[in-house]
Structure formats: C-alpha cells, structure tokens
Structure 1
Amino acid sequence: MPLKEGDIVTIWIDPKRVFLMKIEQGKRLDTDRGYILHDDLIGKEYGEKIAMSKGNAYLLKPIPTDIYSSLPRPSQVLYPKDIGYILYSSGVEPDSLVIESGTGSGFLTIALAYFLGDNGRIISYDIREDMQKRALFNLSILNLSNRVTFKLKDIRNGIEEQEVDAVFLDMPDPWNAISPIYPSLKSSGSLVVFVPTVNQVEKTYLSMKNNGFVDLHAEELILREYQVKENAVRPKNIGVMHTGYLIRGRKFIKENRN
C-alpha cells in the first residue's frame, strides 16, 4: 500500500543511522549521508530503496525495536529483552486491563499499546508530569496515544481501577506500592517489577511474598549479539548486557473461605 501523509516509516541507512518518523508534507530529514524530503516518500511503499547523496536508505515498516534508535529518552528505559519477557510472562492479552507505574519515557507504554491493540486498556501512573508529556509525545509519533490513559498520581496510594489483569512497576521503591495495589488486581493477576539493584530485589520479593503473591521469580536476562563476518564470527565488543532485575508473581486470595 502506498505511503501517505501521517504514516509512520523507519528510514534505515545502516545500523547506526535509523530514523523513525511520521510523514509530514513540507518537512525533510537531514543526515550526514544526505537529506530526504517527506514529500518524496508519499506514494512509495515499505521495502523500497531510495538514493541519497552518500549511499542508500531503505523504507521499512516500523517495529517496536526501532524506537531505541529514534525516540527521545531522558530517563533510563526498558529494553526489548526485558519487555518481551514481561509481556509473555504476565499473560496479558489484547483485551486486558493493565496498569503501569513509572511512565518514564514511555517505552514499556509503547510496547503495551502496540501489542494490546485498540481493545486493551492501559493506564499509566506517574508523579512527574514532564515524563508523562514526553511519553505522550513518543506515543504520538507512533499514532498510539489513543490507547493509553495517563494519571498524574502516586500509585503508592492505591489505584482507582478494579479487576486489573496485570500491574507493572518501574519505580525506586516498588515494595511500598505492593500492598496498596493488591485489592485492585484480579485473583491470579500478575505483578511484574523492574529494579536496577539487588537490594531492591530482596525488598520487593519479600514484600510480594508477604502480601499475597505466589509463583514468585527473581530473574535477570542477558542478551549477547554477535558480529558476523566471513571467517570472523564472534560476540560484539559492545552491547546491552545487564539492564536490571525482574521480580514477578501472581495474586492469590489471602482471605480464608469457609
């Protein structure tokens, strides 16, 4: 299908030059390999190659990993290796109600909006309005902002939603939010927490254990990419190795039933 104004496209020149953008008439993309007029992209299709003054560029349909090369991120963000595992292990589906706290630059928010689709409900809590504005901008670049509701509130005071399918926490003291969010989670609903240090792992894990969660896991994911050259295949010298730790569990009903 031909590209039109308002469509999202990834301009791939090489691994270090990847640009995610929305096509807008009258604008242009400037790079050290030349420039691209947005108007010239209208009518072209994903997968096409276009010539630049210093090489070629490829028009690709955006995928979630493209955001790491292009979108502003004033705060530390979650990486695909963690986000993919979070989505899979939490059991969220396209019609799920999901709460996140610690909006940050919105990279997990984007992934949730992308995979849950128009039927999912995503509520993002944060106490910093500037970060939520940044996340909203990033979502708008991908035409996903209509799938997320932002609340400028402290999740440590609880959440307004009920029968929530999953909660994701990315904040300095998640253990202080576990008891307040417990009543809003569905029975067997998932809680997934991301923290950067091991002392946070201990506090979070024990708080989850003491507040009605089972099937508990504390994990770290390592991803190693390889450099592939003829007769010289080896791990890359630079890569995203340690990013943080994940603690996850599922809610059980604490009250005794007769």
Structure 2
Amino acid sequence: MSFKNYKDKIEEGDTVILYLSNNLYALDVQRMIKNKKGEMVENVFQTPFGALKVKNLIGADYGSRVELSKGWGHVLQPTPELWSLTLPHRTQIIYTPDISMIMLQLDLVPGSVVIEAGTGSGSLTHALIRRVRPHGHVYTFDFHEHRAKVASEEFQAHGIAEFVTAQHRDVLSDGFGDDLKGKADAVFLDLPSPWLGVPHAVAAMKEEGGRFCSFSPCIEQVQRTCLALQEHGFEELTTMEVLQTELKVTRRTVPVRDLSFLRHKSSEKPVEEKPSGDTTFVVGAWPPSTPGHTGYLTVATLPPLFARSKKVSKPECSLEEQDSPENGDKMAVVGTEDNN
C-alpha cells in the first residue's frame, strides 16, 4: 500500500522500486508466488547482479541498501514518476514531461474532480490521483474491458482505489454517464478521435466551467479538436509540444594561447612566443541528440455557464465539411488511429 502514503518500513504487499546501476524494476513484496505450473514457490527476483529473495525486503527501510548474490542495490518508495518508468505496458504511455504540463494546464488542486478517457496503462492516472487526493476523485474510462479491469485491480493493490473509479466504457459514443453530468472540474482525453468527446466534456463540466486537455500524436487530430472546441464555446485554445532537453554538467578542456609576447613586440629583442596550454572548465553541455516528437497537447477553457456564447459562429471549414470527400484537399483527417 506504499502509493497512498510515505512510510519508513517496507511491508508485505507493498510495491517497491529496485534501483540497480541506473536500471529500475518494480517489485511486489510477496513471500510466495505462483510459477508457470501454478505451484506456490519462494519469490526470488533475478537481476543482472544476481538473485534477490523478496522476503528479505519485509521490514527493511525505504531507501536502504539491499544485498544481492552478485552485488547490491537500493529499494525506493514508489512515486508516479518512478512507476511510469517501470510499469507493465498495456498501451503506449504518457511520460513525466507531458504529465507535468497536463497537471499544470488542467489547474488541478486537492479536492478537484477530474475525468480521464483512455486509462491505458495507468501512468497518468497515478499522477492525477496524487494531485487531487485526499478529497478529490479521478474517474477514468477505457473502451477495452480487460484493460479497465486490470487497471482497477492495480489501483486496489496500490492502496489508492478510494480516490479513483475505473470503468469500461466507450465515452465517444456513450459519454461519461448521467452520474457525472455537471460534476467535473477538468476533462482529459487520450483518444483517437478526441473531437467526438468534446460535447460529452461540456456536459460533464460544472456550471462554473473548467479546463479541457487532449493528447494527440497527429496535427490533423489537433485541427479537428480545435474546431469542435470552438463550436462548443471553449476559449483560450492553445496547442503545445513538450520536448525535454537536459544540460549535462561536465568538464571541458580547451587550449589557451599565451599572448604575453605581444607586449614586447616592438622591442629590439622580442620575446619568443610560448606554446599554448590547456585549461579545464566546468560547463553545461547540450545533449548530442534531442528527443523526437511524442504528441500535441491541446488545452482550452470552458467559461461559466452564464458567460458562454449562446450561438457560436461556424468556422470556415466545419467538421461536416471536413467529412465531405470534396474537401479532402483542405485537411487530411486521421480518425482511425488508436493512440493507445
């Protein structure tokens, strides 16, 4: 239950992060596990530095050093950031650089009610839960029944089930349900056709308004989503791409030429030029390569009910026009790609 609160000692049933020489592994602290034959055997985790008997972790301090048969490592308290790097991938996930921007743009605080469509592997969901607890709640949906079930079991095992409700539902066609109408402070969509979810997002948001965010890998998806947001009264539309660049602090040695001989250039006996020397500096160096494209974040604000436009002007190229074959040269629309 280590995701719910920070604690000092590892208990049986916890999920811990094993750190080994810049490699991370997520472990469930259980004395016995089932093997491929269905038999209960001692839980032994194999690593590049030898075997680890998981039962030896029970009672150890978080952050402490643990001995392996051929080396040692450290056991760390799990966080949403570490979980994103070690979780079992059921889908392509959103990583910390995008997650941090999503948290900021959705204006989430403890006590907020947020809807997520596209649970996937639960990477973003864990971060949402940490942000809105203890009095807020996350409602997360996935159109794939098995993924929704596994995610629900995972939240239960991590001790955070009270802050999240995971459901199997096709929100693009069925919406978020009558129970969530007018309840949400924010809506996040990670779906292949987020523009179809915009009307359902409006219905789910509070009368005071709220924030909307979608994650899309293709710019054509962004275009259609922005048109739908405009048609439904959203304001402050912004699309961004988060590309994280880290400067590495390192030492660089550069040649330095001795120019003292120039002071005696006009003398009868000029001083001979001295050879160049080397000087070492501590510098912040740019990485040799930069990260590539991940996805576009489109964010918008839904004003309070009294401030919303009763009739929104129709854009030059509406969604119906885009669907027409005659307008294929205006915009290439990607509507079948599954982000997950």
TM-score by length of 1: 0.89
Residue number in structure 1 paired with 2:170: 154
- Paired residue type of 2:230: K
SS at match of 2:185: strand
- Paired residue type of 2:141: Y
SS at match of 1:164: coil
CA contact (8 A) 1:166 1:190 kept: yes
CA distance in 1, matches of 2:51, 2:26: 14
SS at match of 2:209: strand
Residue number in structure 2 paired with 1:119: 135
Greater Cα shift, 21-30 or 174-183: 21-30
Give the aligned CA root-mean-square deviation in angstroms: 2.2
Give the deviation of 1:189 after TM superposition: 0.5
Within the alignment, does 1:245 sit opposite 2:296 as a pair?
yes
CA distance in 1, matches of 2:289, 2:70: 26
CA distance in 2, matches of 1:235, 1:41: 40
The structure 2 residue matched to 1:35, chosen from 33, 38, 51, is 51
TM-score by length of 2: 0.69
Residue number in structure 2 paired with 1:96: 112
CA distance in 2, matches of 1:239, 1:138: 34
CA distance in 1, matches of 2:247, 2:292: 13
Residue number in structure 1 paired with 2:233: 212
Residue number in structure 1 paired with 2:159: 143
Q: How many residues align?
A: 255
Residue number in structure 1 paired with 2:244: 223
The structure 1 residue matched to 2:27, chosen from 21, 31, 39, is 21
Within the alignment, does 1:201 sit opposite 2:213 as a pair?
no
CA distance in 2, matches of 1:237, 1:84: 24
Q: In structure 2, do the counterparts of structure 1 residues 229 and 137 end up closer, same or farther at CA, with 3 Å as the change threshold?
A: farther
Q: In structure 2, do the counterparts of structure 1 residues 175 and 181 end up closer, same or farther at CA, with 3 Å as the change threshold?
A: same
- Structure 1: stretches of 5+ with no match in the other structure: none
Give the deviation of 1:234 after TM superposition: 4.2
- Paired residue type of 2:175: G
Within the alignment, does 1:9 sit opposite 2:16 as a pair?
yes
Residue number in structure 2 paired with 1:176: 196
Q: In structure 2, do the counterparts of structure 1 residues 69 and 184 end up closer, same or farther at CA, with 3 Å as the change threshold?
A: closer
Map 1:52-71 onto structure 2 (within 5 A): 52-71=68-87
Q: In structure 2, do the counterparts of structure 1 residues 197 and 96 end up closer, same or farther at CA, with 3 Å as the change threshold?
A: same
Considering only CA atoms, is the larger Rg found in Structure 1 or Structure 2? 2
Structure 1 or 2: larger strand share?
1
Residue number in structure 1 paired with 2:125: 109
Identity %: 29
